[in-house]
Amino acid sequence: MAETLLSFLEQSADSDSNEALCHAFKAFVETFGVEAFGYQVLPSPFDAADTSFDFEYNTFPEAMQDVYFEERLYDHDPVTSRAATALQPQFWFDVEQTTPGTRFSQRLFELLRQSGFVDGFTIPVFGPYGLAAFVACGRFSGAFNLTAIQLRMLQLGCQELYSRTIMLRDYDAPAPPHLSEREVEILQWLARGKSNAVIAAILGVSPHTVDTIMRRAFVKLNASNRIAAVLKALRVGLITF
């Protein structure tokens, strides 16, 4: 299996297009028993809408893809939600058993089974600004029987897939905005759950001043509220918990 990963790394380096890269990745994951996969690159948190780079490659059944997007199941997908906060591959039907059922999640797992999937997992891929992509791998003919080392090799392959995708597009994600020292300080306290009044007392300024500086940071981060601002600032390393 190590030779298989090495072979994919060599093919990745030689790929001159994302299509060629994805074909090489397909051959790589098939050696682990993967019979269909989907790959989705997410836009950077600071991309403008008209310059956003995302990329999608999918070998899932077309009828399934149509339903998934037409019914906007991606907005309520418990597997990608779980994967977004995990470092390990998330097996689809394990997630089904361990998350509260909703009509959307029930529809998703029903769709997977109707499409013939017996097993599958989703791997999160991380980039400079945190979560950057997902790779979903499925199997029709039987359950996966993968060791921890094999799953780790797949994770490494997914990371290479993403890194090479970005290199082939010669894409540089926009840098996060520059925040003043005071803006960062206030966001840091917001991340710790402090109210405007408490932050004002800590910093020795008025609550109005805190509100003004906070809203200025919101504009720079293109965030509509304090939760969105804190999440964006955390994601790009402007603040820490």
Averaged over successive runs of 10 residues, the pLDDT of the chain (241 residues) comes to 87 93 96 96 62 71 93 90 89 94 93 97 86 93 96 97 86 72 92 91 93 91 83 78 60
- Domain presence at residue 143: yes
Count how many domains the chain has: 2
- Domain presence at residue 162: yes
**Cα dihedral 103, 60, 168, 80 in deg (nearest 10):** 20
Exposure of 181 in the CB half-sphere (CA atoms within 13 A): 1
Q: Where are the beta strands (DSSP E) in 69-215?
A: 90-91, 119-127, 130-139
- Domain presence at residue 84: yes
Report pLDDT for 220.
87
Residues 62 and 156 in one domain: yes
Report pLDDT for 54.
55
**Token digits for 175?**
């840098």
Residues 216 and 129 in one domain: no
Residues 134 and 68 in one domain: yes
CATH number at residue 120: 3.30.450.80
Report pLDDT for 141.
97
Q: Would you say how long the chain is, in residues?
A: 241
End position of a domain, from candidates 168, 189, 219: 168
Residues 70 and 151 in one domain: yes
- Domain presence at residue 132: yes
Domain residue limits at 129: 2-168
Residues 161 and 187 in one domain: no
Give the predicted TM-score (pTM) of the model. 0.73
Kindly list the distances between the CA atom of residue 210 and the CA atoms of 201, 214, 216, 227, in Å, as whole numbers in the listed order.
Answer: 10, 6, 10, 16
